[in-house]
Amino acid sequence: MIRTIFFSAIILVVSIGGGAASVWLALNASEGIGAVVISGWTAFPDVGTPHADTYSKARFAREGGLSLGRAEGITFVASHDTSGNLLRRECSYQIEGQIPSARFWTLYVADEQRVVLPPTVRRIPALHSQEMLRTVDGAISITAGSHPAAGNWLGVSGRGPMQFVLTLYDTPAASSARVFEISLPQVLKVDCDD
Amino acid sequence: MTRIGYALLVSLFGAGIVHIAVLMLLPYYTERDAWSLLSQTSDHYAMTKIGGSGATTPLVRSVDPLFSAVACRFDLKDGVVHVAGDGTVPFWSMSVYDRNGQNIYSFNDRTAPDGRVDFVVLTPVQTIEVRKTLPESFVDSVFVEADLAEGIVVVRAFVPDPTWRSAIDNFLSDVTCAPS
């Protein structure tokens, strides 16, 4: 009798605990189902639409988000540099390459919760395509770090992990059928303050 | 020994059922979705600032720091929703979301006629009725047919630099969201 109760209790605890824990783990994995990864940048073209899979829908419901529509744009997030290390605020990075055709784009630095970092001096750490200095072939080169740099500088302050968030607005890349074809700039580490 | 094996098997099966149940029910019971956050601060048909300076309900992950945005909750059971504004800005876009915050329809200033914010959200049944006698105020509007009851409308506008901030905020504060 006691053994039956004991086994029933074990089964219940493992079922409910294991089931809940597995959902929690699945929803906290950043490289989730439905992700599109292009040279280190991750996007979820279907998240926040009725076409999203069940896991994306559940994750999205907990975030309190309202994602951009197809006619608005698409957001890419980079949290690692080209060598696979986490991006850190005490390091400086070079973002180089072509950006897909879009009416305009914005790039900002965010913390792990995708909240923009506090401003350095007066500027919020965000840039957009209409204030870019470009190379002859139209590519961009942005220096992100705490030390001011010539050219395009994205000022970052503080310590800890960070993410680059690149949003293309009014772009043909936002339709997920073509999102695999585009190329995005590389994030190269320059050096770190210790 | 077989008993433990049996218990493990049943636990695994149970865990699978709990996993699926939690996953499916989460979107309906969450209190952290956009609708719940908006309903804590504003009523239906009240345009609320969700991004930019002085946002009343900041939905930080949804709005770019170089943007300002307003949102309004609606219920099509009260009648169709007319969202209208005036003025020109460098870029604006709008989206219609359902009760769960899923993007149903979106367009931007280049896909809207005259580049004006002027659209009507309605259900397929309401479309038939509105088409019969088109009200004067809907003549130039874009009709967004959506098969839903409750939903959210969001209008976003690009702020290229801080000098634009007040102009963009004026543009967004003039956007109205009203049932009719």
The predicted-structure confidence for A28-48, as pLDDT tens digits, reads as follows: 775 667 788 888 898 888 888
The answer to whether the CB atoms of B26 and A62 lie below 8 A apart is yes
Please indicate if any CB of chain B lies within 8 Å of the CB of A106.
yes
Place A109 in a pLDDT band, splitting at 50, 70 and 90: very high
- On chain A, the residues whose CB falls within 8 A of the CB of B36 are 64
Whether the per-residue pLDDT at A25 is higher than 90: the answer is no
Q: Per-residue pLDDT tens for A120-131?
A: 777 788 999 998
Mean pLDDT over residues B20-45, rounded?
86
**What pLDDT shows up at residue A176?**
59
Whether the per-residue pLDDT at B121 is higher than 70: the answer is yes
The answer to whether the CB atoms of B37 and A66 lie below 8 A apart is no
Whether the per-residue pLDDT at B176 is higher than 70: the answer is yes
HSE-up of B116 (CA within 13 Å, CB side)?
A: 16
**What pLDDT shows up at residue B87?**
85
Q: How far is residue B70's CA from residue B47's CA, in Å, rounded to a whole number?
A: 6
- On chain A, the residues whose CB falls within 8 A of the CB of B102 are 48-50, 52, 57, 60
- pLDDT above 90: percentage of residues in chain A: 31
ipTM: 0.84
Identify from A8, A63, A66 which residue to disrupt to test chain B contact, counting B C-beta atoms within 10 A and taking the largest count: A66
A140, A127 contact by CB (below 8 A): no
Place B49 in a pLDDT band, splitting at 50, 70 and 90: confident
* Structure-model confidence comparison of residues B27 and B15, the more confident one: B15
Q: Is the dihedral of CA B141, B146, B147, B152 positive or negative?
A: negative
Mean pLDDT over residues A73-96, rounded?
91
**What pLDDT shows up at residue B60?**
60
Q: How far is residue B48's CA from residue B41's CA, in Å, rounded to a whole number?
A: 8
The answer to whether the CB atoms of B105 and A114 lie below 8 A apart is no
Measure in Å the smallest separation between the Cα of B7 and chain A Cα atoms. Answer: 6
Mean pLDDT over residues A12-28, rounded?
89
Q: How far is residue B134's CA from residue A147's CA, in Å, rounded to a whole number?
A: 60
Whether the per-residue pLDDT at B157 is higher than 70: the answer is yes
Q: Name the least confident of A1-10, A86-95, A107-116, B60-69.
A: B60-69
The answer to whether the CB atoms of B93 and A15 lie below 8 A apart is no
Whether the per-residue pLDDT at A142 is higher than 90: the answer is yes
**What pLDDT shows up at residue B52?**
72
Place B16 in a pLDDT band, splitting at 50, 70 and 90: very high
Please indicate if any CB of chain B lies within 8 Å of the CB of A9.
no
- On chain B, the residues whose CB falls within 8 A of the CB of A33 are none
Q: How far is residue A48's CA from residue A46's CA, in Å, rounded to a whole number?
A: 6
Question: What global pTM score does this model have?
Answer: 0.86
How many CB atoms lie under 10 A from the CB of residue B158? 22
Place A97 in a pLDDT band, splitting at 50, 70 and 90: very high
**What pLDDT shows up at residue A36?**
83
**What pLDDT shows up at residue A26?**
84
Q: How far is residue A182's CA from residue A36's CA, in Å, rounded to a whole number?
A: 11
Q: Compute φ and ψ for B144, nearest 5 degrees.
A: -105, 105
- pLDDT above 70: percentage of residues in chain A: 95
- Residue among A16, A60, A64 whose CB faces B18 most closely: A16
Whether the per-residue pLDDT at B1 is higher than 80: the answer is no
Place A163 in a pLDDT band, splitting at 50, 70 and 90: very high
Whether the per-residue pLDDT at B6 is higher than 90: the answer is no
